[in-house]
Structure 1
Amino acid sequence: MDPRQMVAQHIEGGAGVTVAGMRVPIEQAGEFGVIETGQDGRLIRAFREKPSDAVGLAGAPDQVFASMGNYVFSSEVLIDAVRADAADDGSRHDLGGDVIPALVAQGRAQVYDFSANEVPGVDAQERGYWRDVGTLDAFYDAHMDLISVDPVFDLYNREWPILSLPEPLPPAKFLFQEEGRTGRALDSMVCAGVIVSGATARRSVLSPGVHLHSRSEVEGSILMHNVDLGRGAVVRNAIVDKNVRIAAGAQVGVDADADRERFVVSAGGIVVIPKGATVEV
């Protein structure tokens, strides 16, 4: 998203607050906070949380605007709204639940149609990409988006780089080429500082500092910073948080019943190992 375009509309429209809206099928309205607009398609007339009777858009009755949680405020309007809310004993003092609905009631809220946002270097498949990663399965799916052959969110777009401050780590390293002990990563994203020592990673994201020891296997998984996977260990369909040590020969994502006894398992069957844990055999 290029936020400058949203800010430009906010200034041009003279709104107190502008809320980014993503077009979704009306059948999915019950999964989101929904923005209902007037006939002009811009002025917000209602801000509803997961409605069962949502009203479609004026120009597209089979769609609704889902709130993306991105806001642009005029500073004075925001200050006044927060002060008024602080003085209201009946308020929960929640931005989305109290402050913005108050501005909607005053006719000072507008929606920004995210589908109109133009990002350089983005093709038709990527246009309008957005994910709500509020569940474990959604978080997992967003990572799998990154490693698909034709990613719907392309980190390799040179015209719209994602700027960050990388750690001063060495390049990733792949060791050994022997029968059953070849360091390799297939359909995966491998970050700096990773060592794949005679191990195999498939359809996975290996974060900085991950170390895969000989004959270990990772498949369909997200390994956070500094995860250490012991010799011969197996991890499948999992989210492994930072600084986890998985002992040699241990298995995660292989036996569903055993996993549910030891770990959190998402509705979609993704095993989650918490930060700093040690997984023994």
Structure 2
Amino acid sequence: MPRVISLILGGGRGTRLYPLTKSRSKPAVPIAGKYRLIDIPVSNCIHSGLHRIFVVTQFNSVSLHRHIYNTYKFDPFEGGFVEILAAQQTMQSETWYQGTADAVRRNIPYFTEKDYDLVVILSGDQLYRMNLQDMIKTHQDNKAAVTIAALPVAEAEARSCGIMRIQADGRVIDFEEKPKTQEKLNRVRTEPAWMEKLGLKAEGRPYLASMGIYVFNTKVLVDLLGNSTATDFGHELLPQTIASDRVQAHLFDGYWEDIGTVGAFHQANIDLTRDNPQFDFTEGERPIFTRPRYLPCSHIKGATIRNSLICDGCVIGRGSVIENSVIGVRSIIGENVTIRDSYLMGADWYEQADDHARNQIEGLPNLGVGAGSVIQRAIVDKSARIGKGVRILNEAGVVEPENDAPTHVIRDGVVVIPKQTILREGTVI
């Protein structure tokens, strides 16, 4: 077996996920009530037998570092690890990472200090399951220098992805990053009949999109980065590589979702509540790993709950109605609360009787959601205090306001309540 090192790219500032990334890096954003985005690629690596993992990031990495330290501990005799490579000033560079390729270039010393044959590069903000050994086999069988995971997509999606054109043997012969014109789209279109010969059903998806998952021969990657000033894989490095080396496509047709925007993130969480979700966290043989917590069972006091996920340690008051929603760890929900199509991330701690008495003196709502509140199509970040009778409905149907309010942000029509926000009794959004 080849010696493999995995690099998970944590992304930049995560501005499209703001305010969820206001105080944390993108891979540290909680998903499905009890996980973090970083748990997805790390779990894929572990189930694929890849136990040497670096996470490359540069913004707000404290909570990410804490999560990784408390979650991923390997047998010391095996040599596995998950470590963060945060941007730092060195004698060679004093600037931030300028793009995905630049981030990898600046960390060459870490993945070449041992004799690794292959480098697997993954994204830190995607939801999918993949056996990466299958992709490594595709790479080796075709004696490729680079292998790109490819997913069939329709034309609307193709305009926002890196699209590749391949030969009958799967070799990539053209690559266009986010083709906007019809001429460029036509150039990288794959005939449906050709796709079917390769084992994929096109079904109205005549374009092969890069999933942002790559396998590189280590020497090839080091030479490419050393002989180029390219700062990004999709825009620069991959098109250059196609001309000089064998670049192979690894075809994939399972569930894959890039959740880089608030709208996509909200929908990905709500989709988990469906009867047969496309991505299922309950898959027993390949679970998604995360930080172990020692929380009590959730206590539901006569509430009505439909198509929802209720995580550990929640207390839900009598008469409350929860539909198509994800309720995160330690969520405290008062009586007669209505929550629909929403994701509540929960809290990082419990309040005790003394805390409640202090809150009353200071005029603060308790941690959680107060009695009689209504929340619809919203994301409530961790440890928010929502008073009694608060209504979060966005009845005006605002999609993207010109200015953000101090207590909330609206993105893609979704109301986001930032971490530790206080909404006083009777507030209407």
Please report the TM-score for the alignment, with normalisation by the length of structure 2: 0.56
Is the 1:26–1:56 contact (alpha carbons within 8 Å) kept by the matching residues of 2?
Answer: no
Name the residue aligned to 1:25: 154
Partner SS state of residue 131, structure 1: strand
Name the residue aligned to 2:236: 98
Q: Residue 391 of structure 2: which of 251, 265, 270 is its match?
A: 251
The answer as to 2:190 corresponding to 1:57 is yes
Name the residue aligned to 2:34: none
Name the residue aligned to 2:308: 188
How many angstroms apart in 2 are the aligned matches of 1:144 and 1:235?
Answer: 14
1:171-200: CA deviations, max 9, x gaps?
11112xxxxxx3342210011111112232
1:45-64: CA deviations, max 9, x gaps?
22212213323224148611
Q: Shift of the alpha carbon at 1:147? A: 0.6
Name the residue aligned to 1:203: 324
1:4-34: CA deviations, max 9, x gaps?
1111111221212211111112453213221
Q: Residue 266 of structure 1: which of 402, 411, 416 is its match?
A: 411
The answer as to 2:220 corresponding to 1:77 is yes
Q: Shift of the alpha carbon at 1:256? A: 2.8
Is the 2:163–2:210 contact (alpha carbons within 8 Å) kept by the matching residues of 1?
Answer: yes
User: After the TM superposition, which residues 1-281 of structure 1 pair with which residues of structure 2 at under 5 Å, given as runs?
Assistant: 1-40=130-169, 42-51=170-179, 52=181, 53-54=184-185, 55-58=188-191, 59-60=194-195, 63-85=206-228, 88=229, 91=230, 93-115=231-253, 128-175=254-301, 182-198=302-318, 199-226=320-347, 228-253=368-393, 255-256=395-396, 262=405, 263-267=408-412, 269-280=413-424, 281=427
Is the 1:174–1:184 contact (alpha carbons within 8 Å) kept by the matching residues of 2?
Answer: no
Please report the TM-score for the alignment, with normalisation by the length of structure 1: 0.83
How many angstroms apart in 2 are the aligned matches of 1:64 and 1:257?
Answer: 34
Is the 1:184–1:196 contact (alpha carbons within 8 Å) kept by the matching residues of 2?
Answer: no
Name the residue aligned to 1:123: none
Q: Shift of the alpha carbon at 1:235? A: 0.7
Is the 2:241–2:247 contact (alpha carbons within 8 Å) kept by the matching residues of 1?
Answer: yes
Q: Shift of the alpha carbon at 1:129? A: 0.9
How many angstroms apart in 1 are the aligned matches of 2:398 and 2:139?
Answer: 53
Q: Shift of the alpha carbon at 1:113? A: 0.3
Q: Shift of the alpha carbon at 1:254? A: 5.0
1:239-260: CA deviations, max 9, x gaps?
1112221111111115336996
How many angstroms apart in 1 are the aligned matches of 2:142 and 2:252?
Answer: 16
Seen in structure 2, the aligned counterparts of structure 1 residues 81 and 67 have a Cα distance that, compared at 3 Å, is same
How many angstroms apart in 2 are the aligned matches of 1:220 and 1:101?
Answer: 41
Seen in structure 2, the aligned counterparts of structure 1 residues 225 and 71 have a Cα distance that, compared at 3 Å, is farther
Q: Shift of the alpha carbon at 1:277? A: 1.5
Structure 2: tracts of 5 or more residues without a match:
1-129, 196-201, 348-366
Q: Percent same amino acid among aligned pairs?
A: 31
Corresponding letter in the other structure for 1:69: G
How many angstroms apart in 1 are the aligned matches of 2:321 and 2:206?
Answer: 44
Structure 1 segments (4+ residues) deviating >3 Å: 257-263
Q: Which has the higher contact order (CA 8 A, sep 6+)?
A: 2
Seen in structure 2, the aligned counterparts of structure 1 residues 258 and 49 have a Cα distance that, compared at 3 Å, is closer
How many angstroms apart in 2 are the aligned matches of 1:9 and 1:225?
Answer: 42
Partner SS state of residue 256, structure 2: coil
Corresponding letter in the other structure for 2:382: K
Is the 1:235–1:254 contact (alpha carbons within 8 Å) kept by the matching residues of 2?
Answer: no
Q: How many equivalent residue pairs?
A: 256
How many angstroms apart in 2 are the aligned matches of 1:154 and 1:239?
Answer: 20
Name the residue aligned to 2:126: none
Is the 1:188–1:205 contact (alpha carbons within 8 Å) kept by the matching residues of 2?
Answer: yes
Q: Shift of the alpha carbon at 1:39? A: 3.8
Alignment RMSD: 2.2
